[in-house]
Structure 1
Amino acid sequence: MPSLALPEHLAVLQSTRPHLDVIGSTPWPLPDGWWDTTRAHVQALVDDERVGRRETAWNDWPVGTPHMAIYLLVLGERLGGWSALLSGTEPTFPQKVIADHLPPVSRLGESPVYRYFPSATDWPLRLLDHAGRDPEARLDALEASVDALAVFDDVEPFAARRDALRGIFERVMDDRELRRLHAFSPYADLARLWRQDLLTDDERAVLPELGGWADTFSWSVAGFTVVHDHLASMLERSQTSDQVLASIALADGRTALPAAAAVALGRERADAVNADMADRQASFDKQVWLSSTRDWVARGLLRGEIDVCRTWLASTSQTAVSLAGLPGAPVASASPSLVDFIQDVEETYTARSSRARNPLLEDFARRVKPVRHPVPGRPMRLRDSDETEDEETDDLLPDAVEIGDPQGELARLVGLEPVKVQVRRLEAEARADQLRAEAGMPDSGRSRHLVFTGNPGTAKTTVARLLARTYAQLGLLSRGHLVEVSRMDLVGEYIGQTAPKVRKVFERASGGVLFIDEAYALMPADSHRDFGAEAVATLIKLMEDRRDEVVVVVAGYPAEMHRFLQSNPGVASRFPKTLVFDDYSDDELLTILRGMATEQGFVLADGVEDRIRALLPHPRPAGFGNGRFVRNVFEEAASIQAERVVALDAPTPQDIRTITPQDVPGDLPVAPERPRPGMYL
């Protein structure tokens, strides 16, 4: 996969700095000294005997384990989300918080990501449960629960659930009746109070599992549906959210949705999911589906939609474990593949200075004669060991360019005085750099990539071609040719096509200028829907890696080019100079017209230029065609003249060569869809 740049708020994921990544939230870099401070805080809480110790062994916890240590572990697992995905450098963060009190047999092994989920909805009341029926011990447990939350006060991804839970505990302690209920009521009544009546709507929104497992699934599937539908709108070959639900259930061995899920989804949606499951059950292959889903999410990563993909992973995981356990507590699910996602993020967003070199490439390139247009059925010929490369014709390279006098040709172009000054300055800078290098001065590292802005028909392509020859004349470029491309030459239709297309174009342009017309089309307003961002990212890397081999010129309308330069942080910095191609004046356009007529052997009769001058719009409209406009007028006039001449009985040579005022079209011609080659295009 091509490497893209992580957004700034996720940059820590590629660093060695300790950080906790609750997938779906912004990663949290641990402050210096946080672990030392936290261990001291934890030790102080564990030494506080208000909540006591275990009197019997439980799971891996031996007799004498402080209840506070177990509660802190639960908080570490739950505050990141009702079913949190923890990654980064601290995927075992909850265990590390109580590392001094964790039984060795309970320690988790190495993994880039862990999924945590509760086995009971009353987990916040664990300390009250251990307090038994002693009212004073229960009130101590309430206070200790709030104290335990303070261990995680700095952990930003825990903030929403931590603060909501603290607010509930403080409301209980501040309300006389609630305080009495928590001191004296049977524990089962307390659990029911928390599940049904105690929480506000805002608190339920961030602590959904406290309302029961059906509520948890309803909350999870609602979030999943919104996120999945959004991501599916960007990517091709997407399953609907209902199809994914059916696939998740099938992957976990279900043949139909449980009744609790059907209630949460509503009858119509549940029936649709069940019908889909029935249709696909016989042919469903879990591994094939997981693999195709991984590829689908990877396409989202390639489009730069890492935040959406992270949220999709979190919401899909929550939905999957909830659905797998209904009507009871959540259980592990096969969906989605968590480790694969972490690997795909690393592969997609980790920049590498180089990749492993396959020696076969060099050997193959040495022995195979390249063929630009291979004949069907004719194999490529391998060179004999005694043949030299000079004996082969490199058909892959562009035709040789006659350098000539590019600066003289530039000077003879009509108008463009500010552009001519800039190009002469570019030439002077290049010559000065060479002189400085000869004098032993360090390389300036000057970027020669350029932006050309202006309306069509203002000679942008012509100037780029002359600039390529100028740099070749100075020895800065080896060939001096120009390769002109547009979006269709750079952006693929499917995953994996775009980067190779960009590299192929770059190879063609090696030793010359790569001219990208309408470059802003690479990053349209809805660029999340295609692979334009990948093309730009690949282009930027090649521009940096091969800056001495290719000069890149991006061109287009001024406003659109400004947006393009702002579309990616790396774009503007790679193009330090912009050449502005202003619209031609009326006199300049008429000079261009005379040149076209002379070139084709026509004579303009008196009055023709006045008629054409009258067609020139004032002020110039956006996107005005300039030289292209004049060419269209001229070609339309030549067409009308041809119709007039062939109607004459015996036209003279003068008649055939002359364009008269009556041949000039009466209104503006329609521009062709694709410009024809010419000097002022």
Structure 2
Amino acid sequence: MLPDELKVLFTGEPVLHVFGRDPWPISADWLAGAQAQVAEIAREPGFADVPLWGSGEKNYVPGTSVLVQIAYNALYDLFPPLSIVAGNGRAFAELVVREYRAEPVSLELAYDSWLTRIPAADLLYYFKQLSLDPEQREKLVTLLPKMLRIADGVTPLQPRYRVLTTAYERILAEPRLLAAHRELAPKALTQLWRDEILAGDEDRDLFPELSSNPLRMMVPAVGRLATAYEQIAEATAESEHSLAAELAALLHQVGRDEVPAGLSFTELGTEGSAEVQQHFDATAGPVDRAGYRRKRRDWLARAVEFGAVQPAFAWLAATYEVGACLKGLPGRAQESGELNMVSQFLRDLKNAYDVRPAPRRAPAPAVSSAGDAEAPPPEDEETPATAPAKPVVKAEAPSDPERDLEQLIGLRQVKQQIAELAAEAKVAGLRASAGVRPPAPSRHLICVGHPGTGKTTVARLLGGLYKKYGVLSSGHLVEVGRADLVGEFTGKTAPKVERVVEEALGGVLFVDEAYTLKTDLGQEALATLMAEMENHRDDLIVLMAGYPDEMANLLDSNPGLRSRFARTLEFPDYTDAELLEIFRALAADSGFDVADETAERVTTTLHRLPRAPGFGNGRAVRSLLEQMSARQAVRVAGLTDPTPEQVRRLLVEDLPPVSGSALAGGGAVPVLEPEAQLERLVGLTEVKKIARDLAAEAKAEVLRGRAGMPPTDLTRHMVFLGNPGTGKTTVARILAGVYRDLGLLGGGQLIEVTRTDLIAQYLGQTAPKVRKVVERALGGVLFIDEAYALNDVHSYGAEAIATLVQAMEEHRGELVVVMAGYEREMQSLLNANAGLRSRFPTTLTFPDYSRTELQQIYSGLATAAGYTLEDGMLPRVSALIEPFRNHEGFGNGRLARTAFEQTILRQATRITGLSDPTPEQVRSLVKADLPSRLSGRSEAPDANYL
């Protein structure tokens, strides 16, 4: 049987349900009493001249006292951080101040609707928002306990209520603390609360969001997760996997590509943390997020069958909280929408016990932004400035999506188009009320743009708008990719699409990288999806997203799609100023202070990121901040007793030394030392000298820029001449790293191509092929090997060269092109095209390696691989290679590598024949291991040169 205390969830009666705590019925008498207390607080004198802050002017009726707004926020702060609140009582704080809200607050909310409460990180944020004199501040301190007492007896909120009321009693009883609230600046007052007023262990556990240490929230959350997990496993007499395996799966689910530090501080300890790492590494690969949620829902359903209902609620609450902590580390917790299983669990629970709620009235055309949508966060908090990370997300719509949309950075045209859609939806509701029912417009959309430009965020806000105006019943977002829609075999795809659509009903289905459905089984997914769009045209909106060209090709390939998607939203890349604004917002949200000098250097770094396809926009900014956070942690750890200001401060030295293509895409950036790599190369004395000169010139250009001088219009394209294996590709890669480290190239990647990568088979296809290669190389070096093969006037080589030259002009400063090949053939290419020679002012000639240098290369390969060489081996290696020297295309270092690879192959055969080889024997290469000749070389003489 369903426990008696939970049956109220499905009766339709008002109930405050915080997951992990017993539901609390909201009686009419209690609500009337609470509203009377608010009315009494609103009549308090002395605050008539204090204006509302944030969106208060919009959310409250004219003339509302600021004390009502503060009371609303004080009640909001009683909810645990990241708590899940479900059902028709989730607008609890709004109900209490309902008389003063600009729009009506309704209890007609579905039992399976939910939201997360995120209290502010500062319990005294209203002191920051309001300009109060000392008398008003002291008066407010005496009124706050009265505001909190509204929640006296509301059982889900009692733990935090008791701590806060006790804190205010202490403040009012101690003149020193009361004086501090009269006089201290808000920032200092906040620090007083953290250091003294709420400094106990129990207080820290109940108010972890106040700590600058994110582990304060994660440690108790993992404990709650472990307890709930054990209770469910015990009740069901099953344990699918260990808690460590569960946490590893959780890390994959929220999109982490590593196990963050800090798990060992939880009850897992160091051994448990190591076990998490083992499971995490063992399960690396593509993440089936829908499958994860489905398996956990089945597990919870079994828990319900065996009576472990409350542990199931507690597990959901703890999983969401732990997931948010793991996702945000090393910074503050971030909502983990990838874990959303709440609505489906509530439906499963209702079905299991066949409890029917009271009939619901049809929603009004226009409903409360605070009631039928999510309750708003405290009104001083800002919406995050960037799009969230890509993985599958299903989250409730924000409380005021129009306000949140307006606060997004950039996206002017997108905002305008969404405003038009909102106006259309609002008028549709008014028309329905007036009895006018024109044909319903198609509301499905195409979203085109690079990653990290806000497509998912806008999709979520659009769901909230359509929920607000009655177009959608829930407005939640379900994000999927090809793997969530396409089955492995014929006949498996349609059921997958149908399951996804079922999960998205009432909300928005966001299909990312939709162009991947253009081929094979993807077409079956599209056909099924279009049929489902027709079947559920009144309660489903589909958004398809991807790169512009690819999405255009998808629409052209399937005429039925174009007719169903009436509008396209174009998401441009963020400008440098917008990226900096995003960086500042993310840094502030994580609690960091950014010095002006640091912000200036961040701007320079962001400017140099290559805007090639795949550029991560907001994700690149987040990646940069994460790397700066990690580097700052190392720096601060080396300080003796660092101050809080030092812990929060980001300095120029915290910037990573490079800003490579991995950063541009939102990934990690390796720290390289390209100039040191150049010096370690064998031979190439003259090449190294020219490369050092090029590096010095590049450094001087950076210094000139810092001195305020205009940039020099230099051409850095080069020609490399020489036989194979002389180090041309390696030197090109090193120079790319030098230019990247100096900020002259954003990515510093090396893209190596040949004629076949540039020239197509048919007329008109070569130019697009070249442009795609150039796009991949933007921000780095394009290395064209055997470039002389383009010198063919009877083929499409001339078209490839012309397109390349044009691209080099269009992307000056974003691209370095290196053309490489044999000296005679390359001179012929340059002579045949006068425009090429003028665009490649630098020529590096790579001589063949000497006998001694080839021995050094062989020895270096062996040492790097951990081998030791028998005395007298290297002259024999030279004897193997020298017969090839006078042949055309002499392989140089490649021959040394071939000799080494064949040596270790023969050594493997030798040592496996030994009964018990010692480590020394395994590491040792001897003369007998050398081949008699280098096999696989067609130009090799037949004689045995040993």
Report TM bin, short chain: 0.3 to 0.5
TM-score by length of 2: 0.34
Structure number with higher relative contact order (C-alpha < 8 Å, ≥ 6 residues apart): 1
Which structure: larger Rg? Answer: 1
